[in-house]
Amino acid sequence: MLEADIAKHLREAEMVLIGLGEELRSDGTSHRSDRIVKALNTLPPFLRGKTYFVVSQNSDDLVFQSNLLPFFIAEPYGPKENSACSEEQWNTYLRWISGTLGHRLLILELGVGFASPELIRWPFEKITQINMKSSLIRVNASFPQLPKELAETGRAYSVQCNSIEWLEKLEQWVKRVDQKEDA
């Protein structure tokens, strides 16, 4: 049932807000970095025809190596040499988020724990509470919990899974759900 609900929200969303947390942070090895970029590259097909924005709490710039459009990415903790760019992108994000109210907004939180909850985790919860047309999918191996009042809305989903593994499986299970619905 959870897979079908998530697939439905992916299809019906007009706008998508994606938060990237510490599960999607490089450990300095090319193997892990390549795996993260490949996992992030599963997202663009689901974003086609939708307005989206990505906020990363990481500082490794891996998200910019993916096929996601750089104009729609903010990485406020990014390298110091990109601080002007980060500030500009953060302002773009704030303008973008102010235009989501009243739209079917899917909030996809991937691997965000408590390293910096004030950047993604808590604001995404607040946006979900305020925008009645929004839904939140929180994917995290260690901290998938949702506040009780948010879980009770039926618009928030908790997935206890590593976000890299979840992205790697996303395409497969959305196809499986679509095939079941077509049958």
pLDDT for 11-26, tens place per residue?
Answer: 899 999 999 999 999 9
Rounded mean pLDDT of 42-67? Answer: 92
Residue 109 has a pLDDT of 98
Full residue range of the structural domain in which residue 43 is found: 2-182
As a whole number of angstroms, the distance between CA 47 and CA 145 comes to 25
What is the mean pLDDT of the segment spanning 96-125? 96
* pLDDT > 70? residue 86: yes
Number of domains in the chain: 1
Say what percent of the chain tops pLDDT 70.
Answer: 91
pLDDT band at 157 (very low <50, low <70, confident <90, very high): very high
Burial class (CB in 10 A: 0-12, 13-18, 19+), 153: middle
Integer angstrom CA distances of residue 37 from 32, 41, 63, 102, 175: 9, 6, 7, 32, 21
Of 41-50, 77-86, 87-96, 100-109, where does mean pLDDT reach its minimum? 77-86
Tell me which of 83-87, 121-125, 161-165, 179-183 is least confident: 179-183
Confidence band for 6, pLDDT divided at 50, 70 and 90: confident
The one-letter code for the residue type at 174 is V
- Please give the Cα distance from 121 to 128 (Å, whole number): 11
Residue 77 has what pLDDT? 83
Taking alpha carbons only, the member of 140, 124, 134 closest to residue 155 is 134
CATH number at 44 reads 3.40.50.1220
Q: Stretch 115-143: mean pLDDT, rounded?
A: 95
Tokens of 21: 């947390």
**And the tokens for 171?**
């395409």
Provide the CA 110 distance to its chain's centre, in angstroms: 5
The 105-110 sheet, strands edge to edge: 73-74, 51-56, 15-20, 105-110, 134-139, 156-159
Which stretch of DSSP H or E encloses residue 34?
Answer: helix 30-40
